[in-house]
């Protein structure tokens, strides 16, 4: 009877014009109800697994039965079963999911630490973590969760990071057509080094291609006017990276990666893109990388050139490390791609200080001059 009522309600909903529910309030309510339905379905599926009813059809497991009958990928079914079972052991997480306040991705992130020595600490701090899941953008929540795991059990966090490094691999082989096919899996530090350089060369190629198209057409080009797709440009950037490596002088000074170490309540380490790493992962880089120590202290500190027009040097770097991403509530462009903007405009007497500075991506820096940012 209850499922029939749910089916009738959904039938009535899908019979409506979706444009009736395209306002912000309706979209948020629809997502909330979807979270609740996913939570209940996951827990019911976990109970189905425990019941053993699936064995009557000769299936080897509940996952095999569900994957066959629902035509979903087996990995998706296993994930639902695992989350449904784990959620019932975490009352705060279960409650927030069933109420629609958090989604499946939050539950998966929290439940991934319900193991080994961390399980007991997770049960102690579950309310705090769920509250973070309710309030934070998901990327920030993941970052906070990784820091929590380090503080709770650094030994396990170091072991987890080492296991990521062990999974690194590169496959590259020639096909019968002469095309080269491959796959890359890198640990967070190695991936950041390769990804950052690949992105830099891709941007370099894009600027050159844009300038060529503008000169050829006599006007500002569109993306359709460019000769390469973004994927083709990345491929050419990878070839350019190899070419430059092969032509570099023997003994030439290698670029040094920069690690930021935050010193406050705990000593925390992360990469420029916000990826959390463990203190132990820095040890192999002590002789070949550069480190900056970031100390969070009271407001009384030295500012450099507060009457300067632009944010530069240590003042700019401090804002980058503090904000990490674009300050607009609906944006998460990383610091390296942002501009530092005066909160009180320089033309109105605003000082070039940390308190009066914030990161904004180019889009939102231009947008602020058109209208004020919305409430998050």
Query: For residue range 330-372, what is the model confidence (pLDDT) as tens digits?
Result: 998 888 889 999 999 888 888 888 889 999 998 999 888 765 5
Indicate the pLDDT class of residue 82, thresholds 50, 70 and 90. Answer: very high
Question: What is the reported pTM?
Answer: 0.78
Around Cβ 130, how many Cβ atoms within 10 Å?
A: 23
CATH class of the domain defined by 298-376: mainly alpha
| pLDDT tens-digit readout, 30-52 | 999 999 999 999 999 999 999 99
pLDDT, one tens digit per residue, over 135-175 is 999 988 998 999 999 989 888 889 989 999 999 999 999 98
Given a cut of 60, whether residue 14 has pLDDT beyond it is: yes
**Which residue in 149, 156, 131 sits closest to 266, CA to CA?**
149
* Rounded CA separation 122/111 (Å): 9
Taking residues 176-201, what's their average pLDDT?
92
Closest by Cα among 77, 108, 109, 107 to 94: 107
Beta-strand pair 180-185/169-174? antiparallel
Mean pLDDT of the 67-71 span: 95
Write phi, then psi, for 360 (nearest 5 degrees): -140, 135
Predicted local distance difference test score (pLDDT) of residue 247 = 85
3-state secondary structure the chain: CHHHHHHHHHHHHHCCCHHHHCCHHHHHHHHHHHHHHHHHHHHHHHHHHHHCHHHHHCCCCHHHHHHHHHCCCHHHHHHHHHHHHHHCCCHHHHHHHHCCCCCHHHHHHHHCCCCCCHHHHHHHHHHHHHHHHHHCCHHHHHHHHHHHHHHHCHHHHHHHHHHHHHCCEEEEEECCCCCEEEEEECCHHHHHHHHHHHHHHHHHHHHHHHHHHHHHHCCCCCHHHCCCCHHHHHHHHHHHHHHHHHHCCCCCCCCCCEEEEEECCCEEEECCCCCEECHHHHHHHCCCCEEEEEECCCCCCCCCCCCCCCCCHHHHHHHHHHHCECCCCCCCCEHHHEEEEECCCHHHCCCCCCCCEEEEEHHHHHHCCCCCCCCC
How distant is the alpha carbon of residue 206 from its chain centre? 25
In the chain, where the domains are located = 15-152, 170-245, 258-295, 298-376
pLDDT of 302 = 44
Q: How far lies 34's CA from each of 53, 103, 109, in Å?
A: 27, 9, 18
Q: What is the pLDDT of residue 322?
A: 85
pLDDT of amino acid 280: 87
Q: Is the pLDDT of residue 75 over 90?
A: yes
How confident is the prediction for the chain on average, in pLDDT?
A: 88
The rounded radius of gyration (Å) of the Cα atoms in the chain is 26
d(CA 171, CA 39): 39
Q: Which residues pair with 291 in a beta bridge?
A: 259
| Residues 374/332, Cβ–Cβ less than 8 Å | no
| pLDDT at residue number 52 | 94
Residue 303 has pLDDT above 50, yes or no: no
Q: Residue 260: name the closest of 303, 312, 318, 311 by CA.
A: 318
As a whole number, mean pLDDT of residues 119-145 equals 94
- By percentage, how much of the chain surpasses pLDDT 90? 60
pLDDT digits (tens, 9 = 90+) for 305-329: 455 567 877 788 888 888 888 999 9
Residue 266 banded pLDDT, cuts 50, 70, 90 = low
Residue 309: C-alpha distances to residues 232, 339, 348, 360 (Å): 39, 13, 12, 16
């Amino acid at each position: 009877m209850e499922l029939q009522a749910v089916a009738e309600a959904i039938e009535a909903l899908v019979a409506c014009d979706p444009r009736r529910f395209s306002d912000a309030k309706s979209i948020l309510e629809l997502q909330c109800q979807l979270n609740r339905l996913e939570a209940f379905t996951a827990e019911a599926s976990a109970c189905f697994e425990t019941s053993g009813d699936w064995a009557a059809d000769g299936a080897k497991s509940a996952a095999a039965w569900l994957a066959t009958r629902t035509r979903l990928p087996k990995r998706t079914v296993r994930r639902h079963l695992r989350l449904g079972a784990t959620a019932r052991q975490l009352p705060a997480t279960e409650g927030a999911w069933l109420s629609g306040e958090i989604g499946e991705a939050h539950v998966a992130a929290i439940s991934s630490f319900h193991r080994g020595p961390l399980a007991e600490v997770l049960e102690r701090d579950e309310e705090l973590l769920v509250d973070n899941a309710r309030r934070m953008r998901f990327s920030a929540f993941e970052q906070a969760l990784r820091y929590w795991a380090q503080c709770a059990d650094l030994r396990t966090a170091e072991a987890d990071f080492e296991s990521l490094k062990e999974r690194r691999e590169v496959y590259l082989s020639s096909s019968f057509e002469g095309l080269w096919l491959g796959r890359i899996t890198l640990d967070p530090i190695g991936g950041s080094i390769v990804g950052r350089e690949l992105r830099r060369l891709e941007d370099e190629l894009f600027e050159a291609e844009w300038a060529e198209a503008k000169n050829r057409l006599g006007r500002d080009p569109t993306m359709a006017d460019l000769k390469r797709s973004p994927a083709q440009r990345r491929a050419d950037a990878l070839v350019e990276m190899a070419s430059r490596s092969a032509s570099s002088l023997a003994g030439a000074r290698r670029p040094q990666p920069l690690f930021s170490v935050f010193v406050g309540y705990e000593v925390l380490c992360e990469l420029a893109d916000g990826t959390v790493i463990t203190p132990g992962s820095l040890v192999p880089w002590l002789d070949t990388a550069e480190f900056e120590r970031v100390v969070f202290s009271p407001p009384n500190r030295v500012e450099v050139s507060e009457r300067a027009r632009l944010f530069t040097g240590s003042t700019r770097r401090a804002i980058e490390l503090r904000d990490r991403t674009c300050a607009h509530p609906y944006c998460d462009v990383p610091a390296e791609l942002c501009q530092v903007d005066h909160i009180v405009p320089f033309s109105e007497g605003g000082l070039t200080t940390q308190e009066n500075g914030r990161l904004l991506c180019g889009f939102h820096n231009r947008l602020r001059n058109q209208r004020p940012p919305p409430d998050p």
